Structure 1
Amino acid sequence: MRVSSARVRVLTVLALSIFAGSAAAHSGTGLAGGFASGFAHPFGGGDHLLAMVCVGIWGALLGPRLRYELPMVFPLLMVGGAIAGMFVLPMPPVELGIALSVVMLGGCIAAAWHAPAWLAITIVSLFGLFHGYAHGRELPSSADPVGYSLGIVFATGLLHVLGIALGESALRMGCVQIIRAAGAAIGLVGVVYLWSARVA
């Protein structure tokens, strides 16, 4: 029986997400401990997780070029944001930016919006900065910054791959309406996050 590459990628992400929980419980100091803490971090927050999966889904819906460019741009800008967060550099309200990313990315999927490449990259880059800043601010005092950053980038990449696999599967199976409905649901969850961030 032949297993599709999309299924393999999804199973890989699920297996590693289980590992993330274990890693969080056993993380120590040094490079390995920092990596474990960083890897587990995106899986611990629904807003981070949803936004990162959405980047992959939206990229898949936008076509071959952006399918890979968006998941490359997001982690790169996220690292820049993380550095800014570690040094506590001035930044607009981060929680609002993160919540807005869930609303907008979910909305882009729901609308199947084929944004111009430059605009899609700009949107994803901006949100990458916000997510990275939050990760940087939440760096555990005992964690190695390099290992922590590598762990976050690796976990983010896996979530992007999951999103790409979901988007590609929807396109291949003619189930785009289902993925658009999921995008709408994610956008509504983002509205809840946005409201919570405003009243916090």
Structure 2
Amino acid sequence: MKKIYTLLLLSPVLAFAHPGHITEGWQAGALHPLSGCDHLLAMLAVGLWAATFRGKARWLIPSTFVGVMIVGFILGAHGMQIPMLEQGIAASVLVLGLAAAWLKKVPASAAMVLVGLFALFHGVAHGAEMGAHGAFSYACGFVIVTAALHAAGFGLGTALSKQQWLLRLTGSLIGLVGFGMLFTA
């Protein structure tokens, strides 16, 4: 496991992969969140953080991310631009990783607002690269994989719930990668 974290920290930022991707069909949409560590780590962090909550918040937090990301996608596909988009995505990795590791006893509503804000950045980035033509099938692919990554993070967070030090290490390492991304965004 230590080798995986080392590789993540030493790897180049693979993800800032917004322009220049194949953007046709659901398969391209499904592959996009897996194509770089910015999307991958942010999605896993949402699931990790959701696993630290109780009750409905456990599914409302990732659902909020997916719903706002879809809205952001539509806005991005129709030309909306967000200043410092890449920095916002990098910040999502940093903040969501650290939130999963360290923020306890936060109101679920505050967590939902935070993940919603970052989801907007991710959605606009996806939509801007896709455009309005053929967006539906592409969006279906990335929404399905985003939800699956949230579920994987949730599963990991649940498994690590009895090993708080390991959960904190995992979230902190995700945050550290996000901190590094801020310098390359």
TM-score by length of 1: 0.77
The unaligned stretches of length 5 or more in structure 2 are 1-21
Aligned residues with identical type, % of pairs? 40
Partner of 1:101: 92
Deviations 1:148-195 (A, max 9, x none): 011110000100010110011112xx2121011111111110011111
Q: Within 5 Å, which residues of 2 pair with 1:1-200?
A: 34-139=25-130, 144-171=134-161, 174-197=162-185
Q: For 1:167 and 1:91, how far apart are their aligned partners in 2? A: 31
CA contact (8 A) 1:112 1:180 kept: no
Q: For 1:188 and 1:76, how far apart are their aligned partners in 2? A: 27
Q: Which residue identity does 1:90 align to in structure 2?
A: Q
More helix by share: 1
Moved over 4 A (4+): none
Q: Based on CA coordinates, which of the two structures has the bigger radius of gyration?
A: 1
Q: For 1:121 and 1:135, how far apart are their aligned partners in 2? A: 20
Task: Tell me the CA shift for residue 92 of structure 1.
Answer: 2.5
Deviations 1:26-84 (A, max 9, x none): xx99xxx5111111110002000000011011000122322111111111100111111
Q: Which residue identity does 1:167 align to in structure 2?
A: G
Between 1:178-187 and 1:106-115, the stretch displaced more is: 106-115
TM-score by length of 2: 0.83
Q: For 2:64 and 2:123, how far apart are their aligned partners in 1? A: 12
Aligned length, in residue pairs:
164
Q: Which residue identity does 2:25 align to in structure 1?
A: G
